[in-house]
Structure 1
């Protein structure tokens, strides 16, 4: 077996071993499913909601100290104007205004440090699906209240996640306002793009991975007036071989601070129409990769402006925002779930060894 094939096998084994991180949402009378609203409109406590692990999570009173284990949850809290409740964030939430004043709960490698999370003495831990089930169990064993979210695969799931965070943290009205803001801007963008030609778009990641169907990023591309060429190939995030990339013939390549300078000039991307015409769309990685309200609005608006500069709706208002309130510069951060984060690290190492790109 040659060395390249060994790496491919390793990638597959990693995907299988950590694939359980992305758990499906569990239906329960107190828990919202994707596309549904949290029935309560007031911030009454205690509140019990069933999370993605099937656990009924009870929050006895409005939490004063909230720790987030992934930046999408932190971004949502900032957008709700609830940053003052947050005591712990990961290093990848550093783009949020004032995040440096919170405790950093990131581990030395991927994931979070159990000890650092416990040290924040949180009343509630918000754990997006990128936080492993094992980490959630360990935090619960330390007597912490932890709510784990299902994978956010579309805008509806982002809205449901926002409603849930609002309900758990006592910010229900702000969550409703934020979702209304998000949907207004999505509708405004869509209304401007009814009759446009939709270019063929590909969002390549490091190591030959790409973003496919059944992802909120696919909906960003579609809403912004593009056609995600990888959506016809697979769901989620997978590798594309060189021949498939060339056959899919993307006309626009999405790049971020993580990939700029590493995609367009390298094969197979240089052999596509996008490579031949030097056409890219550059987006901030945190707003493209993190499933949260600002990501939906800013990434969709920015991509639409680059794909269709003559037919773009401006973001004309803001939600109940606390913090920076707008797009920021790129940060080097894995914004997907643990599966993609781990695969990306392995893939980058493989790229360095076999393709000498780094």
Structure 2
């Protein structure tokens, strides 16, 4: 079971490899243009196919866990008529009736997708070149295959595209704004911090090296990735001798392994293990190229750089509070300058009951947008 999980992670993210981050916790620019929902939507996907969606979809099938994650994060889950349901999407709380996969919870069944007759099918780049895509298109379905992400900006771009394809641009814009803000807090955390060496244990001695999705996440979190430092490219087994020699200060591993990382007896002699400096990350957020990757990064940052992260979070919250207060004051001032509809009801010139109510509504709206 564990071996199959490791193979799945490598398979699922192999075509979503991120370019390595720069030393010192280099951050990708995730500033995106605002999504624009106009139909018909027309765009060229990763296969070179021009995909046209004539009207805003009412029915969407997400072929991969990351596709389903994005749909949920932009508030479009009610449009889902099919998605993988199983251990890789448990965190989404989806109904079993939506499942379109084999027993492995990740391999789509062609007939299941066709039978649901969706308005559009979303396919993560892990399925690019798969016969399934051609089969679905031959059946008359519109399938959009997303391009391979090569940075955190790539994840953001897929969020924007998904919003435009399914007609949920407001939700996509909100998700992108939160994604960027959280990454900015992480950047503020690590910019002046030293980067300790960390070993990412995937199980059975496998680790992630240079050019992998996980290498990007690890280095963005302000630590050096032992796999990359040891010259490993992609996902591969690393000898325990190399791990012991490099002597990492931290060990990162998937939380599904339990309270301790699944390392060999020899690796138990490293500084990280002796000092119990472990970071257990959410397996799905660490492997699926969706907006929740930021939570995996935050888990690492909060453990490795706790004081700097707490300070950065406090500063971000203070700035948000100040911005909310300023917005509320501006709204109240604008309302105060509007002429009253009925002078007799305006007991305080320029700021009657309607203006007070409008100001309160504005404040509540601002607070409601905060997560």
* TM-score higher than 0.5: yes
Residues 1:100 and 2:95 are matched in the alignment: yes
Residues 1:52 and 2:49 are matched in the alignment: no
Residues 1:309 and 2:306 are matched in the alignment: yes
Alpha-carbon spacing, 1:267–1:60, altered in 2? closer, same or farther (3 Å): farther
Q: Which residues in structure 2 correspond to 1:126-205 (within 5 Å)?
A: 126-131=122-127, 133-205=130-202
Residue 79 of structure 2 is aligned with which of 75, 78, 85?
85
Alpha-carbon spacing, 1:51–1:226, altered in 2? closer, same or farther (3 Å): same
Alpha-carbon spacing, 1:143–1:208, altered in 2? closer, same or farther (3 Å): farther
Instruction: Give the Å deviation of 1:153.
Output: 3.7
Instruction: Give the Å deviation of 1:206.
Output: 2.5
Instruction: Specify the alignment match of 1:247 in structure 2.
Output: 245
Q: CA RMSD in A?
A: 3.3
Alpha-carbon spacing, 1:50–1:201, altered in 2? closer, same or farther (3 Å): same
Q: Which residues in structure 2 correspond to 1:317-356 (within 5 Å)?
A: none
Instruction: Specify the alignment match of 1:331 in structure 2.
Output: none
Query: What SS does structure 2 have at the residue aligned with 1:293?
Result: coil
Query: What SS does structure 2 have at the residue aligned with 1:301?
Result: helix
CA–CA distance in 2 between the matches of 1:191 and 1:35?
14
Instruction: Specify the alignment match of 1:352 in structure 2.
Output: none
CA–CA distance in 1 between the matches of 2:232 and 2:198?
15
Instruction: Specify the alignment match of 1:354 in structure 2.
Output: none
Q: Deviations over 1:96-143 (max 9, x none)?
A: 14x116510111345111121222221111111233522212222222
Instruction: Specify the alignment match of 2:108 in structure 1.
Output: 112
Instruction: Give the Å deviation of 1:76.
Output: 0.9
Is the 1:89–1:105 contact (alpha carbons within 8 Å) kept by the matching residues of 2?
yes
Q: Number of residues paired by the alignment? A: 297
Residue 214 of structure 1 is aligned with which of 202, 211, 215?
211
TM-score normalised according to structure 2 size: 0.71
Please identify runs of 4+ aligned residues in structure 1 that moved more than 4 A: 18-21, 34-41
Alignment gaps of 5+ in structure 1? 1-6, 25-33, 327-358
Is the 2:51–2:142 contact (alpha carbons within 8 Å) kept by the matching residues of 1?
yes
Instruction: Give the Å deviation of 1:23.
Output: 8.4
Query: What SS does structure 2 have at the residue aligned with 1:57?
Result: strand
Is the 2:13–2:289 contact (alpha carbons within 8 Å) kept by the matching residues of 1?
no
CA–CA distance in 1 between the matches of 2:201 and 2:303?
17
Is the 1:38–1:164 contact (alpha carbons within 8 Å) kept by the matching residues of 2?
no
Residue 22 of structure 1 is aligned with which of 11, 15, 22?
15
Instruction: Give the Å deviation of 1:241.
Output: 2.6
Q: Deviations over 1:251-295 (max 9, x none)?
A: 211122333367445244323322232221011112222111122
CA–CA distance in 2 between the matches of 1:19 and 1:292?
12
CA–CA distance in 1 between the matches of 2:246 and 2:143?
42
Instruction: Give the Å deviation of 1:207.
Output: 3.1
CA–CA distance in 2 between the matches of 1:20 and 1:257?
18
Residue 274 of structure 1 is aligned with which of 252, 272, 293?
272
Higher share of residues assigned helix: 2
Query: What SS does structure 1 have at the residue aligned with 2:210?
Result: coil
CA–CA distance in 1 between the matches of 2:127 and 2:99?
15
Is the 1:252–1:274 contact (alpha carbons within 8 Å) kept by the matching residues of 2?
yes
Residues 1:228 and 2:221 are matched in the alignment: no
CA–CA distance in 2 between the matches of 1:19 and 1:79?
20
Instruction: Specify the alignment match of 2:283 in structure 1.
Output: 285
TM-score normalised according to structure 1 size: 0.73
Residue 61 of structure 2 is aligned with which of 64, 67, 70?
67
Instruction: Give the Å deviation of 1:88.
Output: 0.9
Alpha-carbon spacing, 1:306–1:101, altered in 2? closer, same or farther (3 Å): same
Is the 1:153–1:215 contact (alpha carbons within 8 Å) kept by the matching residues of 2?
no
Instruction: Give the Å deviation of 1:172.
Output: 2.5
Is the 2:159–2:172 contact (alpha carbons within 8 Å) kept by the matching residues of 1?
yes
CA–CA distance in 2 between the matches of 1:19 and 1:224?
22
